[in-house]
Amino acid sequence: MTAVPTAPTVPLPPASGAWREGDPPGRRQWYVRDGPLALEAGGELPGVRLAFETWGRLAPDRSNAVLVLHALTGDSHAAGAAGPGHPAPGWWDGLIGAGRALDTDRWFVVAPNVLGGCQGSTGPSSRAPGGRRWGGRFPFLTPRDQVAAEAGLADALGIDRWALVAGGSMGGMRALEWAVSYPERTRALLVLATAAAASAEQIAWADLQLHAIRGDPHWRGGDYHDAGPGLGPHAGLGLARRLAHVTYRSEPELQARFGRAPQGAEEPWQGGRYQVASYLDHHAAKLVRRFDAGSYVTLTEAMNSHDVGRGRGGTRAALSRVTARTLVAGVDSDRLYPLRQQAELAAGIPAADRLRVIASPCGHDGFLVEQEQVAALVRELLG
């Protein structure tokens, strides 16, 4: 009898995809804050640590530093290959390096992992004072809190003023907060695919994702990090990723790539699946192995709280604080952060040039995909 070959067994994912002490550090360095961080919503966060990566060399007069800020499921690994300690390749790899728009022979590029994240910075998967993981006890953060932590990193590096602060989506929120909170420390600003404040629809999409994660029986109120393989809230995080990914891409792109095509020989009514469903499954499966559900919740809630005008007399008054030379750009097919939101920013920032439009079929993800167009904006700002 001929033996029937069996498919290789795929190991169960760990309860959390967060980086942990003892994992390979990769290119990470760490900044540890001296003292607790006061939080906008009240209270404080003790024991703040940020993972960050750098490329290039800081000039003697410290005038060549560029701050690059990642989006929701990004991290400090903005450039370079995947490898030990880095589960994914650099998300802006085409922009950073010798001869590229952020030429590391000229510029000193700094990319921190956001406070509340899961790739080396203090977040829900980190151990709190006393040794227990923060888990569901991790405090509510806003983008202002995250930028205040990043300002401490800049101080530790001896950087009084950034030559450029750049970011898209959640990174764009923080870039905008840098220019409003610390105008004297931001010489140039590149804000991509973001808004002055999270809109009702953006909060609604995010709320669906939060419900998906919190509704997973393995969520356990956020205290799941030391559970065994396969026992994290993977179904909830995977569903959140599927929901989010649909908003990140455009309808015409999904139709052109997948249409109604089945995955494999069997049609869906014969027990098969649609290609687009398999595509979403693929992205969900990747995320649960490299990200943490608690960080996803913390960062999503921070994005929902984003309002640059809060406590500053409204959006117009807040944007008037920006003194940096500014370019605001949006993606023409972005249905999550539509161009009207970037137009509001461009109109409200005194030093902003006209709104720039990134042409892409890829929707919100265009600020990551269309790196040549983003590179042109970077070169325009940096000269």
CB 179 within 8 A of CB 154: no
Out of 225, 234, 306, 364, which one is annotated catalytic? 364
Alpha-carbon distance of 180 to 170, in angstroms, equals 16
- 376 Cβ neighbours under 8 A, 6+ residues apart: 101
Out of 121, 169, 181, 305, which one is annotated catalytic? 169
Its sign, for the CA torsion 199, 167, 209, 278, is positive
34 is catalytic: no
334 is catalytic: yes
What's phi and psi for 143, nearest 5 deg?
-55, -30
**Residue indicated by tokens 């406070």:** 115
Q: What is the DSSP letter of 199?
A: -
| DSSP codes joined into one string, 163-195 | SEEEEETHHHHHHHHHHHH-GGGBSEEEEES--
Number of C-alpha atoms within 13 angstroms, CB side, residue 65? 21
How open is the CA angle 97-103-107, to the nearest 5 degrees? 115
Cα distance between the two ends of the chain: 71
CB 295 within 8 A of CB 117: yes
CB 101 within 8 A of CB 370: no
Alpha-carbon distance of 283 to 247, in angstroms, equals 13
- For residue 350, which of 373, 375, 316, 383 has the smallest C-alpha distance? 316
169 is catalytic: yes
Alpha-carbon distance of 254 to 260, in angstroms, equals 10
Out of 305, 334, 360, 365, which one is annotated catalytic? 334
Residue 26: CB atoms within 10 A of its CB come to: 19
Report the catalytic residues: 169, 334, 364
